[in-house]
C-alpha cells in the first residue's frame, strides 16, 4: 500500500509538471486554439444578453423535441463557456485543482497496476498504465471532437499530452508497484 501511495503522489506530481511543460513550453495546449477575430462585439453582445455563467450551445435546440430553430439550418453553430464576472490572471486555484486531479489519476493507475498480478516485467507494467492513458485520452477528447466539433489538431495534441503523461506515470508506477505474488493453490488428487 505504501508503494502505491508513493507511486501515486510522485507520479501525479510528475504528471502535473509534464502538463505545465507540455502547455507552456511545448505548446500542445495551444494547438488548434484561435482568438476570435473582432471579439469585442461578441463580448458586448454576451454581456448584454447573458447574465448567468454557463455552457451555451447555439443555435437554440428545443429540449423536448430536439429540433433546431428552423431559421438556423445551414447557419453557424457552436458552444460557448461563458463567465460574465471577468477573466482572472490568477490561476492558483485551477493549478491546485489540476495537481490534485493528477495525483488522483496516478493513484488510481498505481492501484489498478497493483491488481494486475500477471504483469511480471517492467515493460508490461509500464504498458498497462499507458493503456490506462489511452482510455483517459479518448474518453472525452474524441467525444468532444465528434459532438462539439473540437478541431482535430487540438484533439490530437491534447491526446498526445495525456499519452506522454501516462507513459511517465507508467515509468514511475512500474518501478515502484510490483505485482503481488500469486496465491499458492494446493490441490489434492481426486480419487478414482
pLDDT in tens, 121-167: 899 999 999 999 999 999 989 998 988 888 999 999 999 999 999 99
Predicted local confidence at residue 191, as pLDDT: 63
- Mean pLDDT lowest for which of 3-7, 101-105, 116-120? 116-120
CB of 59 closer than 8 Å to CB of 75: yes
Q: Which residue's entry shows cell 487540438?
A: 154
Task: Compute, in degrees rounded to 10, the torsion defined by CA atoms 167, 170, 175, 179.
Answer: -150
**Residue 108: closest CA among 179, 8, 19:** 8
H-helix or E-strand containing 82?
strand 78-82
Predicted local confidence at residue 185, as pLDDT: 60
* Residue 120, φ and ψ in degrees, nearest 5: -80, -35
CA pair distance 126, 173, nearest whole angstrom: 7
Burial class (CB within 10 angstroms; exposed 0-12, middle 13-18, buried 19+) of 178: middle
Select the more confidently predicted residue: 180 or 190: 190
CB of 16 closer than 8 Å to CB of 101: no
Q: Which residue's entry shows cell 435546440?
A: 61
CA pair distance 33, 140, nearest whole angstrom: 17
First vs last C-alpha separation in the chain:
45
Predicted local confidence at residue 62, as pLDDT: 72
pLDDT in tens, 46-84: 888 888 888 888 777 777 777 777 666 777 888 888 888
- What contacts 48, CB < 8 A, 6 or more positions away? none
Percent of the chain, pLDDT > 90? 46
**Residue 100 predicted with pLDDT over 70:** yes
Amino acid at each position: 500500500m505504501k508503494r502505491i501511495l508513493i507511486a501515486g503522489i510522485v507520479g501525479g506530481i510528475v504528471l502535473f509538471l509534464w502538463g505545465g511543460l507540455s502547455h507552456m513550453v511545448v505548446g500542445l495546449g495551444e494547438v488548434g486554439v484561435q482568438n476570435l477575430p473582432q471579439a469585442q462585439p461578441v463580448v458586448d453582445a454576451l454581456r448584454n444578453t447573458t447574465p448567468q455563467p454557463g455552457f451555451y450551445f447555439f443555435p437554440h435546440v428545443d429540449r423536448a423535441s430536439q429540433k433546431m430553430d428552423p431559421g438556423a439550418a445551414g447557419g453557424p453553430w457552436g458552444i460557448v463557456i461563458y463567465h460574465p464576472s471577468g477573466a482572472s490572471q490568477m490561476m492558483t486555484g485551477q493549478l491546485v485543482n489540476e495537481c490534485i486531479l493528477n495525483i488522483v489519476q496516478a493513484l488510481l493507475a498505481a492501484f489498478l497496476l497493483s491488481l494486475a498480478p500477471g504483469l511480471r516485467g517492467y515493460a508490461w507494467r509500464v504498458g498497462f498504465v499507458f493503456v490506462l492513458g489511452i482510455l483517459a485520452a479518448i474518453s472525452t477528447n474524441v467525444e468532444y471532437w465528434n459532438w462539439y466539433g473540437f478541431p482535430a489538431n487540438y484533439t490530437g495534441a491534447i491526446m498526445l499530452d495525456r499519452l506522454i503523461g501516462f507513459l511517465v506515470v507508467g515509468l514511475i508506477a512500474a518501478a515502484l508497484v510490483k505485482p503481488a505474488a500469486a496465491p499458492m493453490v494446493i490441490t489434492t488428487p481426486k480419487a478414482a
